[in-house]
Structure 1
Amino acid sequence: MAQQAYLTETDDGGSGPERRRDRLRRLVLRFLDGWRGDRRIWRRGLVLAVIALALALVMLLHSRIPNRVGNLGSLTETFLPWLGIVIPVLLVLALVRRSATALIAVVLPTAVWLNLFGGLLFDKSAGGGDLMVATHNVNADNPDPSGTAREVAASGADVLALEELKASAVPVYERSLAPTYRYHAVQGTVGLWSKYPISAVKPVNIRLGWTRAMRATVATPEGAVAVYVAHMPSVRVKMNAGFTASQRDQSADALGEAISDERLPRVVLLGDLNGTMNDRSLNAVTAQMRSTQGAVGNGFGFSWPASFPMARIDQIMVKGVEPESSWTLPRTDSDHLPVAARVKVTTTATGS
């Protein structure tokens, strides 16, 4: 009986897995046979190859794209990671066209994208840290400020920054956060809540005519930390004007100057910068601080829009403080996702 069963199995072409492997092998060989002897595989797909090379150049030389026309450079840099979506499309088209030239060309943008963003595909969180911070643009039109406050407080953050605070909603946030945070300060439309004492609170002039940024000293158990909270002006993409961001850019320059003049060696910036770390227009800030997401983040950490996050415009940045981990928090009733990070204060130089 055993011998008969064996003969039946081999007569059918082998076991199930063996038959599937054989079927796949035949499909691959049939596909390759279509390429063999076809000299046109090098002449076909030249347009696809040109597109692939252009894509690689855009990603590689994005900083050279001028901003003079509609801030095209900043617009490209804001959504730079999403250019990677074009790569698999080009790969499929190259296979369909049976173009060796296009297939080879697709290797270049793939290598450039992986060099720029490959590190973000992995969780670089180290754990640990002695201070947890969080920031959230709560949205002025938030229908449930009390619920949003409770949700972000539940994250366990020691220091929490909120942006886009509507004057009428501030008392609601104060009452809802009081059980968790003993200390807080509000300046204009931004606020800071802390489990540790706050002092030296003052608005930061970011050239808007009203207050959307502040600075405070937080007395953590490991030492004093200067905490900045900022909400940069919004940017717009208009058909007739392109990426309108001049007001945001001026505010970023002013914020960069304020941080540069900071006397405390340990600085944390929390807020909605309305721009990504790739955007050259934020250089006044990004050139002197580290992004926690880029250093120790888990994935891309896109924070806006909350319904389908496409860009990381809510930032936690540090100077003189060591980032340990960074992540996004669960969605609230805002159009932004909250973001959080753990940092190590004790590894930096002492100072007050």
Structure 2
Amino acid sequence: MRQAYITETAQDAEQGGRSGSRVRAALGRWRRDPGIWRRGIVIAAFALLTGLLMIFHAQIPNRLGNLGSLTETFLPWLGLLVPLLLVLALIRRSATALIALLVPAVVWLNVFGGLLSSKSENSEQRLRYADKAALTVATHNVNADNPDPEGTARRVAESGAEIIALEELKAEAVPAYEKALKSAYPHHSVVGTVGLWSKYPMRATGAVDIRLGWERAMRSTVATPAGDVAVYVAHLPSVRVKMKAGFTANQRDESADALGHAISRDEVPRVVLLGDLNGTMNDRSLNAVTAQMRSTQGAAGDGFGFSWPASFPMARIDQIMVKGVEPVSSWTLPRTASDHLPVAARVTF
């Protein structure tokens, strides 16, 4: 047995030595290669361009089909270019490209790395907020052509939210949503194509003019046990990418400005905004809203919280934003019959 052990150990050492020798040989070939700095210039240029795009995205003009907003909507996905360029740099054996790749890698981690860390509610936070009033809210663009409105409503209610906002409500489907939520949410109101359901009394409920000519936003004061909260529900106009018109978002941008103006004038100090804003927190065109409110996902969620499209989420355009309250956790809910994922958050007063 001892002889066998010595033999196996010797074999392992020999294999390890051979592996180490291969690595040293490969590094030696790289060092002796006279073209190591000359090759891969194009890859290095793409790497630097990617990094500069992430740094100076705010300088991309919106005059050309709202190109700046389009870039900002999908900005996190630029990070996928880093591993792709890394593979190309290794294939080309280019030291220049490898060094240049540090720029987009560092920039991406600086901008989005914080979203990869866990910020959701843990046991320490639960103890900290145990003596404070908490409120769970949820929002969902249910899709006007949803084939299962009752099932969709029940799935959102399973989140345990005390307040639920629904967008893209078709008039003939509203009774189905009301039926499914009636027992758990005795207070509700539907304004145009958006609706609000609450376990607590609602007052001062009405439409919010977001300059569309029809009603796609509302506001209500919800009387929670810990005090009043002004709850806004909004479905900003859809943004389309068209061959000739580009990223058509002018109507959405005007509606965002009107919504931000209404929120800034609200006299209730605690405000929650629920809805499909058809834009991400990076989109400069939503500044009228994002400049005065916090994203629950950015403050207390894990990851990016992408919500659209439901089949393969690529962007978080469904938002829960707050001011005057503290986000504790934020998450996406299981898929329903809609093309959006529902999102939920827990806040404390």
Change (3 A) 1:5 1:290: same
Q: Percent identity?
A: 71
**Aligned-partner Cα distance in 2 for 1:27–1:162:** 61
**Matched ranges for 1:263-302 at <5 A:** 263-302=267-306
1:344 pairs, out of 327, 331, 348, with: 348
The answer to which of 228-237 and 92-101 deviates more is: 92-101
**Aligned-partner Cα distance in 2 for 1:51–1:167:** 50
Q: 1:145-203 deviations in whole A, cap 9, x for unaligned? A: 01001111111001000000000010110010011111111100000001111111010
**Aligned-partner Cα distance in 2 for 1:320–1:38:** 61
**Matched ranges for 1:22-171 at <5 A:** 22=17, 24-127=19-122, 128=126, 130-171=134-175
Change (3 A) 1:68 1:198: same
2:239 pairs, out of 227, 235, 242, with: 235
Output the amino acid matched with 1:56: G
**Aligned-partner Cα distance in 2 for 1:67–1:329:** 33
The answer to which of 192-201 and 127-136 deviates more is: 127-136
**Aligned-partner Cα distance in 1 for 2:331–2:255:** 26
- Report the equivalent of 2:307: 303
SS of corresponding position for 2:20: helix
**Matched ranges for 1:160-199 at <5 A:** 160-199=164-203
Change (3 A) 1:208 1:44: same
Query: How far has the Cα of 1:4 moved from its partner?
Result: 2.6
2:216 pairs, out of 204, 212, 230, with: 212
Output the amino acid matched with 2:60: I
Output the amino acid matched with 2:53: V
Change (3 A) 1:166 1:22: farther
Query: How far has the Cα of 1:242 moved from its partner?
Result: 1.2
- Report the equivalent of 1:350: none
Query: How far has the Cα of 1:20 moved from its partner?
Result: 6.2
**Aligned-partner Cα distance in 2 for 1:241–1:200:** 40
Query: How far has the Cα of 1:139 moved from its partner?
Result: 0.4
Query: How far has the Cα of 1:10 moved from its partner?
Result: 4.2
**Aligned-partner Cα distance in 2 for 1:35–1:73:** 40
Query: How far has the Cα of 1:216 moved from its partner?
Result: 0.1
Give RMSD over aligned pairs: 1.3
Q: 1:63-121 deviations in whole A, cap 9, x for unaligned? A: 00000111110000000000000000111111111111110000010000001100111
**Aligned-partner Cα distance in 2 for 1:68–1:45:** 34
Output the amino acid matched with 2:269: P
Query: How far has the Cα of 1:5 moved from its partner?
Result: 1.5
TM-score normalized with structure 2 length:
0.95
**Matched ranges for 1:5-20 at <5 A:** 5-10=4-9, 13-14=11-12
- Report the equivalent of 1:348: none
**Aligned-partner Cα distance in 2 for 1:223–1:35:** 68
SS of corresponding position for 2:139: strand
The answer to which of 127-136 and 297-306 deviates more is: 127-136
SS of corresponding position for 1:323: strand
TM-score normalized with structure 1 length:
0.94
The answer to which of 207-216 and 126-135 deviates more is: 126-135
Q: 1:192-240 deviations in whole A, cap 9, x for unaligned? A: 0011111110100000111000000001111100000000000001121
Query: How far has the Cα of 1:325 moved from its partner?
Result: 0.6
Structure 1: give runs of 5+ residues left out of the alignment. 346-352
**Aligned-partner Cα distance in 2 for 1:167–1:7:** 80
**Aligned-partner Cα distance in 2 for 1:285–1:22:** 61
Query: How far has the Cα of 1:7 moved from its partner?
Result: 4.2
Change (3 A) 1:271 1:93: same
SS of corresponding position for 1:214: strand
Q: 1:31-89 deviations in whole A, cap 9, x for unaligned? A: 21220212211111111111111100000000000001111100000000000000001
**Aligned-partner Cα distance in 1 for 2:308–2:116:** 19
